[in-house]
Chains A and B, each alone.
Chain A
Amino acid sequence: MAFQVLLNFFLAFLWMFLTSSFTLSSFIIGYFLGLLVIFAMRRFFQTRLYILRVWAVIKLTVLFIIELIKANIEVLAIVLRPKMDLKPGVFKYDTKLEREWEVTLLSLLITLTPGTLVMDVSDDNGTLYIHALNASDIKGNVSSIREGFEKAIMEVSR
């Protein structure tokens, strides 16, 4: 991953030296040409193309912004309703993610999304204890996390 990015930068600089024009635009042209070269040589790399991972990060960000806005509209609806019919509760969620930064990212995203707040993480990083504003629908909560964020994070780290 990092090697491919560095290689792409190197190819861009090579292009700048070949054309002997040291401007930003020639760097960008060189970068795109280098991207083409890396794409053509993709079967010699051990890992997958880094541009796919960048695309996965962009998708995760967009998903996150949409969920953040949805979360706020939900909180808005709950707070401003004259009669609050809250059913808060704590449920546990077993995650398939293993590395520490993945679990941290997942709990950060869960905390900023509709009606859920991470309260504790078990010692082996395997279980998250999540406080939900609407705990009567735990299955829906769990499946929305699993289908949405966990999948997207796996896509990034794969």
Chain B
Amino acid sequence: MIDVSEYFVAGFILIGAFFAVVTAIGLIRLPDLYTRTHAASKSATLGVMCILIGTLIFFLTEDGVFNSRVVLGIFFVLITAPVGGHLIARAAYNTGVKLAPETVRDDLADKEKHEQAKSKSKSKK
């Protein structure tokens, strides 16, 4: 007889692997660095998290061991992945990587202007 928990384990690990595949396809198909960072920072995070949750449930039900290091791993991945995505995108923009030709608008190009306008309105107050 198969336990219900095994369905959960299989489900989590398959979903995680599926999201990892989607990340890889996204990295190939998306047009520029910034849209690729979207795929890498979101899908990869959820994929790794799902696989780790599946591992946690597997060892909890099979051996009765609660592996707290896996929980810490989930937490650390969750807080570091978006920071990595942000830093890559920011460094790329500051070194002048071009946005994709489909790009509709770019407010960051006018950053200086926005900043000056803001500091002026502040000094008036």
Contacts and interface: CB of A to CB of B under 8 A. Distances in A.
Contacts, number: 123
User: Which size class do A's interface residues fall under?
Assistant: 35 or more
A96 to B, nearest CB: 14
Contact of B35 (A69, A88, A126): A88
B114 A92 contact: yes
B22 interface: yes
Contacts of A78: 26
Contacts of B106: 89-90
User: Which size class do B's interface residues fall under?
Assistant: 35 or more
Given A76-B22, A88-B102, A89-B105, A119 B89 contact: yes
A101 to B, nearest CB: 13
A4 interface: no
B79 interface: yes
A75 interface: yes
Interface in B26-43: 26, 29-32, 34-35, 37-39, 41-43
21 contacts: A76-B19, A79-B39, A87-B102, A88-B31, A88-B35, A88-B99, A88-B100, A90-B103, A90-B108, A90-B109, A92-B107, A111-B85, A117-B37, A119-B90, A122-B111, A122-B114, A122-B118, A126-B118, A131-B34, A131-B89, A135-B105
